[in-house]
Amino acid sequence: MALPDDLTLTVNGREHRLRAAPQTPLLYLLRNDLALNGPKYGCGLGECGACTVLVDGRVARSCVLPTRVALGRRVTTLEGLGDRQQPSAVQQAFIEAQAAQCGYCINGMIIAVTALLEQDPDPSETTIKRALRHQLCRCGAHVEIIQAARRAAEIARARRIEVHEADPLDARSPSL
Ligand code: FES
Ligand code: FES
């Protein structure tokens, strides 16, 4: 068994010092050590997407990602996108669209849509379906989830316009 090591992990913009074997799946440290319970343990095999996080802006399955791969990179979990007071555009859209039944898959859906909108701010339905094709929902909430993804693009667009109108020189993009 690998011996524990002192690891420095950057999650949601904060550095954390953790003692763990570098091979430990990232999900275990996020949930058990950092109490970040947005990412869920579903299959544990990299197949369902419930555990999805962003690593340097790219979707990653944290249940099978050895923590050593995330060292020196930016890890973002659901908690890092926004909160109850200031949800990200994608979080807001999922709330508005009531796009959940049990909710277990929703972490992965929101993270995947966030990554998609970073690449394509106005995705077609086909593009959304392609981006979500490996995120599994056992409740069958797919229709609402796709509606939420489309709504997220609208909200993000409206927020960009608001920022621009408030300060035409402000080039920041509001969170997706
Ligand atoms: S729990 Fe990670 S992909 Fe299913
Ligand atoms: S809402 Fe239950 S798994 Fe998707």
pLDDT of residue 20: 97
The closest-lying atom of ligand 1 relative to the alpha carbon of residue 136 is: 4
Q: Which of 15, 45, 80 is the last residue of a domain?
A: 80
Domain count for the chain, please give it: 2
pLDDT of residue 174: 75
As beta bridge partners, residue 25 has: 66
Calculate mean pLDDT across residues 121-141: 97
CA of 169 to the centre of ligand 2 (A): 41
pLDDT for 1 beyond 60 = no
Same domain, 140 and 113: yes
Ligand 2 pocket mutation pick from 106, 107, 134 by most atoms within 8 angstroms of CB: 106
pLDDT in tens, 14-49: 999 999 999 999 999 999 999 999 999 999 999 999
Nearest CA-CA partner of 20 in 10, 11, 12, 32: 32
**Global pTM?**
0.94
Same domain, 126 and 162: yes
